[in-house]
Structure 1
């Protein structure tokens, strides 16, 4: 049934993806024109700190953990922001071109910024796609997404450890005088990720295997499912640039009824209407499914909160999922 749903979505979304891609071109060209007019930036802030820009909130948090007080970090995308649909503003372009280093996820997660990064690389600007460090053989393939890989790699903690080490290495290369600090911060954070993974497995062990079915708004949790033994189904595809059709809703509602799924989940960075439509579809067939809560998928929580960190977000998600499905 799950394969049937995925194949159905594939056909509809391939065409839609390329339509969306075509519409992006004019805006990207205009942005690139602005970039060409930007002047080279100084190598350091006046306070001597490396000036770093990160795209997603997950990467911003990671760089804060590794870079500490030795860097000036700016994040482009805040809480609740969908990186699949994010468009760079004129202010963003200025941030990118006045930074010493730019860290982005890659694998076409930041779909509307791809051509900007490619242009920056041609101009020998210091950009780092953190997913470059990952072995592509270990990534989940996607037949209908442009990168051919699922970009939601932060839901695999082992991948996040590799990216932590890679980020520290790139910071050390750019700022050797703070190399020891970056190494210490990285080691401390890697230990915290080890603790996180154990805690997550302990929490999930309280949920019977037959109840580990995770239904969400879009396919952001496949790495999570693979790592922790969940069957994962999303109404939308890997990119939120695609939309769920009526048949997607109907087929998934039948799957929920057949498998007695207790709860489904909305995502903080995706409009809730698709999950509400799914809930209504299940209800129209004489069954009930609850909305188990909001999960953080493509962005962290509000800055300054526990969920505003990668570790806090992960624990919050798992507690929410397990509590709702028990």
Structure 2
């Protein structure tokens, strides 16, 4: 019996040493330091992944082709929000049907609207397109405004996880440099379109910030939200404008049914004016994951190239 006690102590220390080694290995891999992030739209998911890097495990709720204006959170989505350490969403009522859920989550954990810190004087209002005074939520179409959203994401990650604030700042600066180059690239491409042809016609009014930033007249059949529907007068008014101004191309959107645009094309045809579909643009959702258009930068570049290709 006297021998058993020292043996027990030796075994206990051995087990403790193994557990400590496992813990150190885990810490070395960064697993314990990874924060769980849940995001709403793909554009935000992409930015958080770029800035969060290896320290953020990011789960996006809305995939390619999903319309955030009409999106309803599933039980699985609520579970993902519950499990998150921090949540990022657009705000400005883009995720209109999720507002209640996001407000509830904000009571228990950091829930960040990436648009919150943008100077309201830089935002478009519904009054600019004949609606109420609600701000236009499609801020990602002005790359300079989206840079401000990226800065908000950087700051929120650093505040929540100060141990890696330096890495978030480094990642953000590299990404912001890419966005500065993208902004200049898009501006140069749009300048190659003859001024009288710089008219962008789409299914819903998502591209207002793009038009303001890069010098295009933007017209949409529906309002800022796809929850509104285009009426017969909207179709005929737009048809007549396109005929009168000899506009040759309109655009469809990946996340919006093309029925209303097809009605405009058909109406113009009946009046002897041929309209073509200039291509598919990404408006409220990015492209498929793993494609260039499945990133924010690739999406913006695709849109600019498609618009120029049809209108130049």
SS of residue in 2 equivalent to 1:133: coil
Contact 2:35 / 2:57 at 8 angstroms: preserved in 1? yes
Whole-angstrom distance in 1 between the partners of 2:311 and 2:104: 46
Matched, 1:212 2:198: yes
Deviation at 1:48, TM superposition (A): 2.7
Q: Return the alpha-carbon distance in structure 2 between the equivalents of residues 145 and 57 of structure 1.
A: 26
* 1:245 partnered with 2:231: yes
Name the structure 1 match of 2:76. 91
Q: How many residue pairs end up in the alignment?
A: 281
Distance in 1 (alpha carbons) for counterparts of 2:62 and 2:75: 14
Number of the residue aligned with 2:292: 306
CA distance in 2 between partners of 1:282 and 1:276 (Å): 10
Is residue 124 of structure 2 the alignment partner of residue 140 of structure 1? yes
- 2-side partners of 1:311 and 1:255: how far apart? 32
CA shift at 1:119, angstroms?
1.8
TM-score normalised according to structure 1 size: 0.84
Does structure 1 residue 75 correspond to structure 2 residue 24?
no
2:202–2:252 CA contact under 8 A, matched in 1: yes
Q: C-alpha deviations, 1:6-48, integer Å up to 9, x for none?
A: xxxxxxxxxxxxxxxxxxxxxxxxxxxxxxxxxxxxxxx9643
Q: CA offset at residue 124 of structure 1?
A: 3.1
CA drift at 1:125: 2.1
Residue of structure 2 aligned with 1:271, choices 257, 269, 274: 257
Q: TM-score, normalised by structure 2?
A: 0.88
**In structure 1, what is the Cα distance between the partners aligned to 2:35 and 2:145?**
25
Deviation at 1:97, TM superposition (A): 1.0
Whether the aligned pair in 1 keeps the contact of 2:144 and 2:180 (CA below 8 Å) is: no
Equivalent runs, 1:17-166 vs 2, <5 Å: 47-121=32-106, 123-143=107-127, 148-166=134-152
Consecutive unaligned residues of structure 1, counting only runs of 5 or more, are 1-44
Q: Please say which of residues 88-97 and 201-210 is displaced more in the overlay.
A: 201-210
1:318 paired to 2:307: no
The aligned residue for residue 39 of structure 1 is none
Q: Secondary structure at the match of 1:260?
A: coil
Structure 1 stretches of at least 4 aligned residues deviating more than 6 Å after TM superposition: none
Q: CA deviation at 1:138?
A: 1.2
| RMSD value, Cα | 1.3
